Every structure is written in C-alpha cells, then in structure tokens.
C-alpha cells in the first residue's frame, strides 16, 4: 500500500502523534509512506529522522500574539494562491490512501483526485458530541473544510461513547531521577513575560522550552532550552509538574506519567479551551487565564497525581488501515480502549460525564 501522510506542522503535538504512527508503519514491509508537513518554516522542524525524506509546504498556520490567536493577522499572512497551487500540483497518482492530521494540502489534493483519506487527529474528535466550549460557527467551518477527509478518526482522552481513539504515548516511561524542577512549555507566550512570572519563585527551578530561543542558557532559577526532543523528554520525565498551554499531546504525556498540570489555554482556540474542560472533569489539571503568579504559587503546593496509562504502540491501528474497512472503526477503538488504565478517581469522574 502506498500512503501519503500529511501532518500539520504548527506546534509540535501533530508531529509527536505522527512519530508514533510512523514508527509502526516503518515496521511493515508492505507499506510505503511519504510524509508532507506544512504550517511552519522548513528550518524550524527538528528531530525528524523517523520521517526520512519528508517534504514541506507553506500551508496555513494560525498567527498568535501574547497568548491569543490573532485572526486578522492569520488572514493577512494567508497566501491563498500559493495554497491552491500546492494542492493542484501535489502528485497523487501513486497513492492508495492519504492519512491526514489537520494538514490542508494533502487533504484537499485527495478530495480533488478522489483518493480515499482518513483524518487521524485530535481535531476530528470535535466532529462528534464531546465536551467543548467556545466553538463558534467559524470553528465548525474550519473543522469541516480546513482539511476535509473521507473518514474521520478522532483522538481523545476518553471515548464519550463515540468511535474515538485513545492517544498513543511512547518513549516517555524510562526511569529518570526526579529533579524537583518544573517543566514550562508556553510557546504562544512572550519570553519576557514568562521570565517575569518565574523569577517570582527563586527557590523553585524551572526548565523552559520555547521556539523563539536560539541557544540554551541558565539565568538564576530558570534554564532556557531551544526545542529539542531528547532534552524535552528528559526534563518532562524528571519534573515535578508541567506549566503549559492546553495542547493535546503534551497533556497526554503528563496524564500518562502522572504529572500535575497547570494550563494557560491559548485564547481564541476552542480546542485548547475544550481540552481544559475535559481535564478538569477528569480532575487532572488546574488552570489560569493569564500568567498568574498566585495561581502558580497555589499549584506548586499540590501533589502529583496517579497516571492514566495509554497504549504505547500503534500496530493495531496500522492493521486496521491495511484491512481497508475504513468506514467501521468500532472494533479498533474498543480494542485500544481496553489497553487504557484509568485510576479509580478518574473512572468515577468520567462515569458522571
């Protein structure tokens, strides 16, 4: 089977999910996969070895400013003519299937060439009745038409009675000595504002990763890191907790490792606001609507939580893809949820949703 896998490159969550599926796909000799990424500059991708000779396109991304989606600037920077040309010029003749994670070029190219396509993404779960907040008419249009596919397979922390997959969390469970430090990943916030917040807690060490950094530096109680998969993984495993935006993949890893979470959702993005709603229902996060020292001070006193164990390997998903019965995912979803282990308190809370 020849597959084109299109991945949204804005943020690192889509790429993290793609790495897990790429590893499972690479173990099959009867599958050939090409990868296409869009949504960020080519030089900003890192640790991409698993994808071999991937290609990049400009695509479309959302512009943020001071922790909020800037829809006006998003519209201004959209190069619609380039996007249309990329869709029309993308070769599709040899592909049997397109797998898509909210990537518009491969999705629209598949639609126009009548190549079957499957969305395997967190965004796809919001096409089903799951907890959400702040989803307006524009959000509904984006969900349906930004990267449309023939079939949709959503990914979430709970199935809510729908055909939804659990997340795959891999490569994060090796034992690491606890550091007592806090991991901070707030890529949509300003560096000076992050520093001003964290310097109010001189007795607490922080490891901060941010895409605007160009080198690793140490300043008082803060260690600043450029994005790096291995360094991030080590700091995450050793940390006492995580302060972040409300992205899906990092929150999944924190649930899996039993890390306490303090989340500042990206304003203007209903997906992150909805993620907070679900995590609060599960009793697995605290939130702040701005970079709030009092919220950080209170959260630092909290204990760690029991982990939610998610599947580590995507081999069952690959088998389902090869079976080509893509309109029926119930058996696959049931099998994967049997691999999920919820602590008793989370089970009780989910039963009430």
Quick: pLDDT tens for 244-296.
999 999 999 999 999 999 999 988 789 999 999 999 999 999 999 999 999 99
The whole-angstrom separation of Cα 125 and Cα 281 is: 17
The answer to whether residue 223 sits within a structural domain is: yes
| Closest of 103, 320, 145, 263 to residue 252, by C-alpha | 263
The whole-angstrom separation of Cα 150 and Cα 259 is: 37
CA 347 from centroid of its chain's CA atoms: 23
Is 27 in the same domain as 149?
A: yes
Listed in order, strand segments (DSSP E) in 174-291 are 182-185, 206-209, 217-219, 222-225, 241-244, 260-263, 286-287
pLDDT of residue 340: 97
Is 248 in the same domain as 103?
A: no
The answer to whether residue 306 sits within a structural domain is: no
Is 161 in the same domain as 263?
A: no
The answer to whether residue 46 sits within a structural domain is: yes
CATH number of the domain where residue 238 is located: 3.40.50.2000
Is 22 in the same domain as 135?
A: yes
Angle between helices 248-257 and 13-26 (to 10 degrees): 70
Residue 193 DSSP label: H
| Closest of 307, 311, 305, 317 to residue 340, by C-alpha | 311
Residue pair 107/136 in contact by the 8 Å Cβ criterion: no
The whole-angstrom separation of Cα 49 and Cα 72 is: 35
The total number of structural domains that make up the chain: 2
CATH number of the domain where residue 318 is located: 3.40.50
The range of the structural domain enclosing residue 147 comes to 2-169+313-342
In sequence order, the 6+-apart residues with CB closer than 8 A to the CB of 18 are 5, 7, 35, 51, 101
Q: In what order do the strands lie in the sheet with 217-219?
A: 217-219, 222-225, 206-209, 182-185, 241-244, 260-263, 286-287
The answer to whether residue 115 sits within a structural domain is: yes
pLDDT of residue 257: 94
Distances (CA, A) of 161 to 7, 102, 154, 268, 337: 27, 23, 12, 28, 11
Distances (CA, A) of 256 to 163, 196, 253, 302, 339: 21, 30, 5, 18, 13
pLDDT of residue 139: 86
pLDDT of residue 269: 85
Is 12 in the same domain as 112?
A: yes
pTM of the model: 0.92
**192-205: buried (b, 16+ CB within 10 Å) or exposed (e) per residue?**
eebeebbeebeebb
Is 58 in the same domain as 28?
A: yes
Residue pair 39/61 in contact by the 8 Å Cβ criterion: yes
The whole-angstrom separation of Cα 284 and Cα 287 is: 10
**CB count, 10 Å around CB of 84?**
12
The answer to whether residue 145 sits within a structural domain is: yes
Both ends of the chain: CA-CA distance in Å?
A: 40
Q: Which residues of the chain have pLDDT under 50?
A: none
Is 235 in the same domain as 130?
A: no
Is 295 in the same domain as 318?
A: no
């Amino acid at each position: 089977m020849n597959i084109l896998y299109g991945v949204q490159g804005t943020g690192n969550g889509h790429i993290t999910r793609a790495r897990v599926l790429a590893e499972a796909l690479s173990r099959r000799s009867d599958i050939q996969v090409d990868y296409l990424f869009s949504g960020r500059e080519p030089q900003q991708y890192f640790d991409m070895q698993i994808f071999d000779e991937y290609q990049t396109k400009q695509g479309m991304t959302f512009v943020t400013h001071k922790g909020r989606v800037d829809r006006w600037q998003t519209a201004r920077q959209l190069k619609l003519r380039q996007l249309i040309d990329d869709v029309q010029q993308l070769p599709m003749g040899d592909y049997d299937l397109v797998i898509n994670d909210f990537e518009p070029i491969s999705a629209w190219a598949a639609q126009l060439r009548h190549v079957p396509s499957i969305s395997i993404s967190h965004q796809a779960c919001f096409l089903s009745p799951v907890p959400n907040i702040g989803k307006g008419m524009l959000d509904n249009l984006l969900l349906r038409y930004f990267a449309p596919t023939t079939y949709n397979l959503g990914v979430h922390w709970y199935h809510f009675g729908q055909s939804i997959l659990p997340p795959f969390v891999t490569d994060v469970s090796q034992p690491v000595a606890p550091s007592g430090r806090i991991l901070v990943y707030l890529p949509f916030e300003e560096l000076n504002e992050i520093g001003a917040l964290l310097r109010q807690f001189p007795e607490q060490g922080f490891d901060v990763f941010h895409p605007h950094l160009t080198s690793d530096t140490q300043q008082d109680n803060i260690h600043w890191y450029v994005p790096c998969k291995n360094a991030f993984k080590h700091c995450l495993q050793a940390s006492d907790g995580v302060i972040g935006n409300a992205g899906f993949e990092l929150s999944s890893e924190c649930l899996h490792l039993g890390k306490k979470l303090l989340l500042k959702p990206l304003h203007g993005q209903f997906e992150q606001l909805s993620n907070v709603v679900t995590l609060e229902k599960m009793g697995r996060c605290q939130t702040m609507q701005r970079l709030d020292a009092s919220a950080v001070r209170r959260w630092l006193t909290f204990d760690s939580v029991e982990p939610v164990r998610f599947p580590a390997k995507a081999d069952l998903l690959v088998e389902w893809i090869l079976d080509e019965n893509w309109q029926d995912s119930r058996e696959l979803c049931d099998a994967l949820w049997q691999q999920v282990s919820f602590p008793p308190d989370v089970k009780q809370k989910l039963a009430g949703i």
